[in-house]
Amino acid sequence: MALVKDAISFEGVGQTFLTDAGPLIALKGVSLTLDQHEFVAVLGPSGCGKSTLLRLTAGLMMPTQGRVSVFGKPVDGPRDDVGIVFQNATLLPWANVEDNVVFPAKHMRGRVDDKDRDQARRIIATVGLEGFEKRLPGELSGGMQQRVGIARALFLNPDILLMDEPFSALDALTRDAMGFELLRLWQASPKTVMFITHSIPEAVLLADRVVVMSARPGGVIADLPVPLGRPRDETSLRTAEMQDYMAHLRGLLIHKEIA
Amino acid sequence: MSAETEAAPQDRPVLPRQSLSERLVRMPVVLPLFTFLSVLVLWEVGTRVFAVPSYILPAPSRIATGFGAVDLPRWIAHIWATLRVALMGYGAAILISLPIAIGLAKSKLLSRALYPLLVVIQSVPVVAVAPIIIVVLGTNDAPRVVITFMISFFPLVVSMTTGLMATPPELIELSRSLRAPQHREITQIRLPYATPYIFSGLKISITLAVIGAVVSEFVAAEKGIGYFIQFSTSMFKLPQAWAGLAILVAMSLVLFQSVSLIQRLFFPWSLPKATK
């Protein structure tokens, strides 16, 4: 009997898409594990299949090769114990903040009760949007919209949080602030986080471990723990050690893109 | 120091100077009204100065007397006949295009199979088929509703399908990851997302529905504004035919504005940002 169950594991996973231009190999031979409550950043150039990893974990697509498991069980279909945060908040423009956050419950069960609404208001407060419950998404800034997106993903209290370049549509200042906000949420309520990004500083600042991927076909070329304790702040990356570490990551990415 | 206190006695913002044309642009009613009245005046003056015979182009004042050719209850009966057919055909178009659009949006197979057929149907000139439809379906409401339906339904199918497909794929993935039943993906995500598209289709189709009703009345009817216009022209009573035409224009405008009003009242979030 296995004692330790990995939260997420990929074993020799390959993914090929059929396109009009012929088969496209998005992922090839990916093996990777995420421990429970670990924060892992997946770093790679665009088109390296980072998002495919996320969709495989959520069970939104099945691998053409290999196996994806969550908590030791093979993923065989969409699963509702993962929360997904997309690049764009993709909120419902006709629904206010609170209705957007309870949407998962409404969508699964067809209706929401007072308990759901209480829970939604609690989460809205946690992501710092107290007082904005009745606002429509169109009235919020990009950063606030993404906070709602995160609140929606947290609503069902998932064990796993999948984030697909969640802050890349935000301006630089908001982006940093949101990163620290996410760390605060994660420390208050630990979850296994798979954070897709193409920003080296963002990956290093947030994650316990950085997985570097190569461009098409996507594969893991490095899997490096981040030599940085917690808590972290704006100054954490200014040490010579961290600068070297980031330069190393940059080297891996650039080298792979040329080759 | 004294100059400063003089310059800002209150906190009123300093507005930029506006030219006359800039100020006119900000008055949405005044300008079109002015254009409209100018055309009427030019029209009136032109027909009088050049002594245009009324069977070629009656002056607005002659058209106004054309309204008096028929008494009010008769006008209302004609208007109601046309309005009834237009609304029934329009309603049928909405009811039938919605399931078709859902089918086309949800199934690539269905869309590949059905879309060419829809385009063929749309390519049939309805005016030319109208006499055939009347022969097949008789002279009651049915053929008129069918003709109106045929003219107004295609823009609805296209706009609804486009709208249903415009949903961000992320939300569809969210729906799938929640393992929600299919019908809720339609009702809670796709349909609301399609609302702006649906309304642009509804606005196009409502005016087409009036055209459809008139076409059907041209072919076979004993009342309705379309019938009235044809009857009047055959009797060479051009001013009253023009009066009928003016009523059709007014009817189309009122119907179009009603659809816009419904959107503004019940779906304000679906309006483009600039017109809010």
Separation between Cα atoms, residue A12 and residue A33, nearest integer Å: 11
Identify whether A231 is preceded by a cis peptide bond (ω within 30 of 0).
yes
Contacts of B168 in chain A (CB under 8 A): 88, 90
β-strand partners of A212: A43, A222
Nearest to A58 among B168, B175, B177 (CB): B177
Residue with tokens 């379906």, as numbered in its chain: B137
Residue with tokens 């009136």, as numbered in its chain: B44
**Complex ipTM:** 0.85
Positions of E strands within chain B = none
Structure confidence at residue B276 (pLDDT):
40
Q: Is residue A227's pLDDT more than 90?
A: no
B77 and B260 Cβ atoms separated by less than 8 Å: no
> What's the number of domains chain B is made of?
1
What is the CB-side half-sphere exposure of residue B172 using CA atoms within 13 A? 12
Separation between Cα atoms, residue B196 and residue A200, nearest integer Å: 40
Q: Residue B9 — left, alpha, or beta (φ > 0 → left; ψ -120 to 50 → alpha)?
A: alpha
- Closest residue by Cα to residue A241 from A224, A227, A252, A251: A227
Q: Which of residues 209-268 of B touch A (CB under 8 A)?
A: 267
The verdict on residue B267 lying in a domain is yes
Q: Which two tokens stand for residue A195?
A: 């954070």
Q: Which two tokens stand for residue A109?
A: 């069960």
Q: Is residue A169's pLDDT more than 90?
A: no
Separation between Cα atoms, residue B99 and residue B106, nearest integer Å: 10
CB atoms within 10 A of CB A116: 18
Mean pLDDT throughout B242-260?
95
Nearest to B269 among A77, A90, A136 (CB): A136
Note whether B170 contacts A138, CB cutoff 8 Å.
Answer: no
The range of the structural domain enclosing residue B200 comes to 70-275
The verdict on residue B223 lying in a domain is yes
Q: What pLDDT band is residue B242 in, cutting at 50, 70 and 90?
A: very high
The CA-atom distances, in angstroms, between A28 and each of A35, A211, A232, B232, B256 are 22, 15, 34, 77, 56
A247 touches chain B (CB under 8 A): no
A88 touches chain B (CB under 8 A): yes
A105 and A116 Cβ atoms separated by less than 8 Å: yes
Structure confidence at residue A255 (pLDDT):
67
**Domains of chain A with CATH codes:** 1-75+198-259 (3.40.50.300)
* β-pair type (A220-225, A209-213): antiparallel
Please give the share of chain A, as a percent, with pLDDT higher than 90.
29
Mean pLDDT throughout B85-109?
93
What CATH number is attached to the domain comprising B261? 1.10.3720.10
The verdict on residue B34 lying in a domain is no
Q: What is the pLDDT of residues A9-66, one digit of tens each?
A: 898 888 888 888 888 888 888 889 999 899 999 998 877 788 889 999 999 999 999 9
Q: What pLDDT band is residue B9 in, cutting at 50, 70 and 90?
A: low
The verdict on residue B63 lying in a domain is no
**Residue of A76, A90, A145, A156 to mutate, testing the B interface (most B Cβ within 10 Å of its Cβ):** A90
Question: DSSP letter string over B18-48?
Answer: --HHHHHHT-TTHHHHHHHHHHHHHHHHHHH
